[in-house]
C-alpha cells in the first residue's frame, strides 16, 4: 500500500514538472514569447507605477488616443498613457496607480472612441497581460455583478478564465509560447517598448497611406452605453477632479465614410450622454464635435496614420496654447 502511494506521488510530481515549468516560463519571460502588442501594455504599466514621472499633462484613453496624440510635439511635460483596446475601466486603475507614485497632473485630456462606452471588447487582453492586480480585478468583478452582470466580464466560464490567466496556466499561454520563434521575441519587443517610451507613450496602429473603410461605430444602431464603463468613467472623472486636475474631454477624428454611415441615433445618443456628463461635471471642458479627417489621414479604419496624428496634435496645440509648450516646426499636415 505504501509503495503504491509513493509510486502515485512520484508520478504526480513527474507530471507536474512540465506544468510548473510552463507556468514559470510564462510568468518570467513575457517579453520572450508575447506578440509586439504586449510591450505597449508593459510600457504603460511601468510608466504609471514609476515615481519621478510628474508630468503636467497626461493623455488618457484608448487606441485612438494612443495613435492620435504625439506628446513630443506638445512639450516635455506631456505623456500619452493611453492603451489600445482599453476603456475607462483600465484607465481608472491606471490613474490610481499613477497617483500613488506621482503628483497629479495639472491637465488631463481624455480621448475614447465613442463605441468604447458601449463595448468592452478587449477585456481578455487585460487579463492576458496581467494589467490589473488581483485586488483591482476582484473589485472590477464585484462592480460587474452590481452593473446588470456585464457579460463581457461575467461571461460563461469567467471564473475559470480569470483563474487560468491569473496563474498563467498553459491552456491560456502555451499556444503563444509555442508560436514564438526559436530565438524568442525579446529583441523585437524590447525595441517596441523603447520606441514607445522614447515617443512618450505614442504608438501607431495603422500603416495605410489612406483608409476610408467603416469604423466600429458604424456597427452600432444606437449609443447603447455600458452601465459598467460609464460608472468607471464617472469614477475616473471624480478622481481627476479630486486630485485638482483640469479635465478636457476631446474627440478623435473619423474618416468620411464612417461619418456618413454612423447612424443619427448613435450620434444623438452620444451627444445627449456628453451633455449629461457636462452637467454633472461643469468644471470639465467637454468637446462634442467629432472631427472628420480625409481618408489620407488614416492608417486603418479606426486610427490615424502619422500624417493624421501630426495634424491632430497640431490642432490641439493651437486650441490649447495655455496648456502646451511645444511647437510644430513642420506645420500642420492637411
Q: What is the pLDDT of residues 84-129, one digit of tens each?
A: 999 999 999 999 999 999 999 999 999 999 999 999 999 999 999 9
Structural domains counted in the chain: 1
Whether residue 327 lies inside any domain: the answer is no
Residue 245: which of 74, 33, 102, 38 has the closest Cα? 102
The answer to whether residues 242 and 283 touch, using CB atoms and an 8 Å cutoff, is no
Identify the weakest region by mean pLDDT among 9-23, 57-71, 114-128: 9-23
Does residue 332 belong to any structural domain of this protein?
no
Q: What is the pTM of this model?
A: 0.91
Is 328 inside any structural domain?
A: no
Please return the burial class of 11, using the count of CB atoms within 10 Å of its CB with bins 0-12, 13-18 and 19+.
Answer: exposed
Range of the domain at 13: 2-319
Q: What is the pLDDT of residues 178-199, one digit of tens each?
A: 999 988 999 999 999 999 999 9
Highest mean pLDDT among 12-26, 46-60, 207-221: 207-221
Instruction: Yes or no: say if 57 and 78 are a contact pair by the CB < 8 Å rule.
Output: yes
CATH number of the domain residue 25 falls in: 3.40.50.1110
Q: Is 334 a member of any domain? A: no
Residues 292 and 254: beta-carbon distance below 8 Å = yes
In a domain, 230, yes or no: yes
DSSP H or E stretch at residue 77: none
Separation CA 58–CA 90 (nearest Å): 15
Residue 19 lies in a domain: yes
Per-residue pLDDT reduced to its tens digit, 247-304: 999 999 999 999 999 999 999 999 999 999 999 999 999 999 999 999 999 999 999 9
In a domain, 177, yes or no: yes
Cell representation of residue 61: 484613453
Q: Is residue 330 part of a domain?
A: no
- What's the mean pLDDT when you consider all of the chain? 91
Closest residue by Cα to residue 158 from 127, 132, 118, 134: 127
pLDDT (0 to 100) of residue 26:
92
Amino acid at each position: 500500500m505504501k509503495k503504491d502511494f509513493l509510486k502515485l506521488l512520484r508520478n504526480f510530481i513527474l507530471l507536474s514538472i512540465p506544468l510548473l515549468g510552463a507556468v514559470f516560463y510564462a510568468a518570467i519571460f513575457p517579453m520572450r514569447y508575447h506578440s509586439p502588442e504586449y510591450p505597449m501594455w508593459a510600457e504603460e504599466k511601468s510608466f504609471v507605477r514609476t515615481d519621478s514621472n510628474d508630468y503636467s499633462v497626461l493623455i488618457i484613453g484608448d487606441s485612438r488616443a494612443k495613435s492620435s496624440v504625439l506628446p513630443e510635439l506638445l512639450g516635455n511635460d506631456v505623456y500619452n498613457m493611453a492603451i489600445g483596446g482599453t476603456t475607462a475601466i483600465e484607465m481608472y486603475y491606471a490613474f490610481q496607480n499613477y497617483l500613488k507614485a506621482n503628483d497629479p497632473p495639472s491637465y488631463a485630456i481624455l480621448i475614447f472612441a465613442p463605441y468604447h462606452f458601449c463595448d468592452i471588447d478587449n477585456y481578455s487582453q487585460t487579463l492576458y497581460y496581467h494589467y490589473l492586480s488581483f485586488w483591482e480585478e476582484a473589485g472590477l468583478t464585484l462592480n460587474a455583478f452590481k452593473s446588470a452582470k456585464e457579460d463581457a466580464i461575467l461571461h460563461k466560464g469567467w471564473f475559470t478564465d480569470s483563474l487560468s490567466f491569473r496563474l498563467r496556466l498553459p491552456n491560456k499561454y502555451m499556444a503563444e509560447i509555442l508560436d514564438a520563434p526559436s530565438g524568442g521575441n525579446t529583441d523585437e519587443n524590447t525595441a517596441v517598448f523603447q520606441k514607445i517610451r522614447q515617443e512618450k507613450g505614442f504608438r501607431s496602429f495603422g500603416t495605410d497611406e489612406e483608409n476610408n473603410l467603416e469604423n466600429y461605430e458604424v456597427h452600432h444602431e444606437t449609443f447603447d452605453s455600458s452601465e459598467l464603463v460609464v460608472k468607471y468613467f464617472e469614477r475616473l472623472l471624480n478622481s481627476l477632479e479630486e486630485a485638482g486636475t483640469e479635465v478636457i474631454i476631446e474627440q478623435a477624428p473619423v474618416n468620411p465614410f464612417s461619418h456618413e454611415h454612423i447612424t443619427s441615433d448613435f450620434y444623438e445618443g452620444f451627444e445627449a450622454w456628453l451633455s449629461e456628463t457636462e452637467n454633472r461635471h461643469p468644471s470639465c471642458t467637454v468637446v462634442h464635435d467629432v472631427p472628420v479627417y480625409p481618408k489620407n489621414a488614416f492608417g486603418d479604419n479606426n486610427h490615424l496614420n502619422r500624417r493624421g496624428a501630426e495634424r491632430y496634435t497640431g490642432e490641439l496645440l493651437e486650441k490649447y496654447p495655455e496648456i502646451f509648450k511645444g511647437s510644430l516646426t513642420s506645420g500642420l499636415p492637411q
